[in-house]
């Protein structure tokens, strides 16, 4: 190995060259992090190990007995909690659909180099924990507080900036009654890779807001300007733009690919006849109002039947079931697509508009099938 | 999409062209299947969701109430079991390290196109279930039986061959007392992605032998010649060779990469000083006898301290802990390596010998680190 400096290793983000294959760096990330296999859309609650996972740096080695949560900054008094303290507080369980802000990135042309998601960076879990707002109120929210900054224990360097993963949330969002500090996933202790012993859950927001391995909460009197807020997770075109922040999840529907797969291409083989195609749809902005299916690559669309939302009362950001009865008698190749529309009328494009970090993509899923 | 035929989609295996980047097909597999993040080497037992996962086709949707296991072929009588029948039988729990036969494939040059593993396709679980041998004996093993053929419920097409995933095991291996039909993983019900409701566990063998979603066991009077036995999972150079079968796991050691990572390159940043580097080592052939560490890309090696094997009495194929105290005072780039040697004297090469399917690779791990 030639002698490398850190400055040659931790470099600015880059866009793939035309026809540049997936790189070893992208593969390294793809091997660690994983999407939800789409057949797992069959489960209301995604089983642990099938829920998508993105770890920015390393999964930290946290000793739960020595772990503390500190709440400080623009508060009346700095407070510190042990896990036992949090377990003793009121417990709430919420069903929430999470999606990575970079879902779909590897489908963009040209491709931004980062975690190379196709379309499965999603999952729905039952998160159990204690509501955040009462903790903040007990600490005493400063009259000048504007952001609540959450710091995790995962440590790394990114584009030259050494950091613990840290994100801010506007105070009004942090005070929503459905925001949790979660210590359980699917009615079991939070697994290490999903943030044990404690993580943030902000229903409706993309995954970057759901800070894992939480160690600190700081109220600030000015908007948080850390790396993950002002450099990463921005919607922008040019490298020098500030861009717009990534916030809530865009509407999306996904189908369980019908038939069975070819091993290497993952193209589906489907027998001619009647197929009940099912899947899920969600939006972090409002309720899902419609799901449509297309068997001709999005030239024509037909309404799918929208079913129940997972979870219960108040689980506004859990996914909805849907089904479509697809009759096919034409052998040969088909491109199946599905799209959701939410209550604000926001839907999914057939072609993905490009942005430099490959964020908040929601192009309608495309499944290649060969009918026989 | 141009009109495609199945024969154009499910095609023979191929080797990447020189400098051909990772393909979208490989990425699709890498997004579904996942390696164990190497920091998870810290756990004696790999938590669910961190254990490596390879699903050949789709995770099948199995109704446990309707599920049956049939044992037939060269037996005295065909027998059928419900899950309750199996749960009522003697239960055994074994700690076993699994590794995918294709681990390391994406490090080969040229690269065989398949699931593009780097080096983390490994994990160790506590598998709970009932021993296989008594079930076979109760069915009555035919005097002419030679192979025991295990069929899973996962269905797909591969290189033009439609199939349920099926593998054979020589009768003597199937009758080993440590071979289990497992319905638990880490003391909880087997998760869907790891083969629920029942899977085979053959300690010491690569992952292809550990048939998931098991539905049938057939004793045959001739060696099994199905696709996964005679076409896939062969050690060979040329496309037309028959090759040698892939069987037991070659020795391997892995380290937890020290320091912390750069997000995109995963290169490690390490402070000069003393680092206790730890990891695991295993072999499916015999006990691990030595682990060695190199901080100069394998030019010189020093003995690591070999620790305890995970699991208990008789868990011969669980991984061993090891540690090495690495003192570094030279800033700049380093290539860290580790290698294991087993009781048969089999060790790990510095350069990987090539084979056409990228199977049974065990090149010594290489971690790039920058000391500061």
Q: Running DSSP on this structure, what letter comes out for residue A130?
A: E
Phi-psi region at B241: left, alpha or beta (left = phi > 0; alpha = psi -120 to 50): beta
Task: Assign B3 a pLDDT band (cuts: 50, 70, 90).
Answer: confident
Question: How many CB atoms sit inside 10 A of residue B326's CB?
Answer: 20
pLDDT for residue A372:
94
Using the beta-carbon criterion (under 8 Å), do A267 and B4 form an inter-chain contact?
A: yes
On the CB side of A317, CA atoms within 13 Å amount to: 24
pLDDT for residue A19:
87
- Determine contact: B296 vs chain A, CB below 8 A: no
**Residue among A97, A69, A72 nearest A84 (CA):** A69
- CA–CA separation, A147 vs A167, rounded Å? 10
- Determine contact: A158 vs chain B, CB below 8 A: yes
- Give tens-digit pLDDT for A337-357: 999 999 999 999 999 999 999
- Give tens-digit pLDDT for A136-158: 999 999 999 999 999 999 999 99
CA distance A17 to chain B (A): 12
pLDDT for residue B290:
98
**Residue among B207, B185, B208 nearest B198 (CA):** B185
Question: How many CB atoms sit inside 10 A of residue A350's CB?
Answer: 15
Residue A209 has pLDDT above 90, yes or no: yes
Task: Assign A237 a pLDDT band (cuts: 50, 70, 90).
Answer: very high
- CA–CA separation, B269 vs B260, rounded Å? 5
pLDDT for residue A295:
97
Using the beta-carbon criterion (under 8 Å), do B260 and A20 form an inter-chain contact?
A: no
Let me know: does B29 contact B116? Beta carbons within 8 Å: yes
- CA–CA separation, B251 vs B291, rounded Å? 10
Q: Running DSSP on this structure, what letter comes out for residue A40?
A: G
Instruction: Record the tokens describing residue B105, joined without a space.
Output: 């494939």
The pLDDT of B60-65, averaged and rounded, is 97
ipTM: 0.96
Instruction: Record the tokens describing residue A334, joined without a space.
Output: 């088909």
pLDDT for residue A3:
74
Mean pLDDT for chain B overall: 97
Instruction: Record the tokens describing residue A315, joined without a space.
Output: 């689980």
- CA–CA separation, B209 vs B195, rounded Å? 13
Interface of B with A in 29-58 (CB under 8 A): 29-35, 37, 39-40, 42-43, 47-51, 53, 55-58
* pTM of this prediction exceeds 0.90: yes
Using the beta-carbon criterion (under 8 Å), do B25 and A264 form an inter-chain contact?
A: yes
pLDDT for residue A235:
98
Task: Assign B2 a pLDDT band (cuts: 50, 70, 90).
Answer: low
Question: How many CB atoms sit inside 10 A of residue A18's CB?
Answer: 8
pLDDT above 90 covers what percent of chain A? 97
- Give tens-digit pLDDT for B197-216: 999 999 999 999 999 999 99
Residue A327 has pLDDT above 70, yes or no: yes
The pLDDT of A263-288, averaged and rounded, is 97
pLDDT for residue B35:
98
Residue A1 has pLDDT above 80, yes or no: no
Of A21, A34, A56, the CB nearest to B263: A56
A254 phi/psi in degrees, rounded to 5: -135, 145
Q: Side by side, which strands form the sheet with A69-73?
A: A79-81, A69-73, A214-220, A147-158, A161-170
Instruction: Record the tokens describing residue A83, joined without a space.
Output: 């896990």
- Give tens-digit pLDDT for B95-138: 999 999 999 999 999 999 999 999 999 999 999 999 999 999 99
pLDDT for residue A242:
95
pLDDT for residue A212:
98
């Amino acid at each position: 190995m030639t002698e490398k400096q850190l400055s040659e290793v931790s470099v600015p983000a880059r866009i793939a060259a035309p026809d540049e294959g997936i790189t070893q760096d992208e593969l390294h990330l793809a091997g660690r992090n994983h999407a939800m296999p789409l057949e797992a859309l069959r489960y209301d609650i995604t089983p642990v190990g099938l829920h998508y996972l993105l770890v920015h740096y390393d999964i930290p080695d946290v000793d739960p007995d020595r772990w503390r949560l500190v709440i400080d900054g623009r508060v009346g008094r700095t407070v510190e909690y042990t896990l036992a303290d949090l377990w003793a507080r009121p417990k709430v369980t919420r069903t929430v659909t999470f999606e990575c802000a970079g879902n779909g990135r590897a489908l963009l042309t040209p491709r931004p180099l980062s975690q190379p998601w196709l379309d499965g960076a999603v999952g729905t879990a039952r998160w159990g924990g204690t509501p955040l707002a009462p903790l903040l109120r007990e600490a005493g929210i400063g009259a000048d507080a504007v952001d609540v900054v959450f710091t995790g224990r995962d440590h790394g360097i990114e584009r030259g900036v050494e950091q613990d993963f840290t994100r801010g949330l506007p105070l009004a969002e942090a005070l929503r009654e459905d925001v949790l500090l979660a210590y359980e996933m699917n009615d079991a202790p939070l697994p290490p890779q999903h943030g044990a012993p404690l993580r943030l859950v902000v229903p409706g927001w993309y995954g970057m807001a759901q800070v894992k391995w939480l160690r600190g909460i700081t109220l600030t009197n000015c908007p948080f300007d850390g790396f993950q807020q002002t450099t990463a997770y921005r919607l922008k075109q040019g490298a020098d733009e500030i861009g717009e922040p990534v916030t809530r999840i865009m509407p999306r529907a996904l189908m369980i690919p019908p038939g069975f797969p070819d091993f290497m291409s993952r193209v589906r083989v489907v027998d001619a006849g009647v197929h009940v195609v099912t899947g899920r749809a969600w939006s972090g902005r409002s309720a899902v109002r419609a799901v449509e299916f297309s068997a001709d690559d999005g030239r024509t669309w037909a309404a799918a039947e929208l079913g129940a939302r997972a979870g219960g009362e108040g689980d506004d950001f859990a996914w909805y079931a849907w089904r479509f009865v697809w009759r096919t008698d034409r052998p040969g190749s088909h491109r199946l697509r599905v799209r959701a529309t939410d209550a604000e009328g926001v839907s999914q494009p057939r072609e993905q508009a490009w942005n430099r970090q490959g964020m908040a993509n929601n192009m309608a899923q495309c499944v290649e099938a060969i009918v026989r």
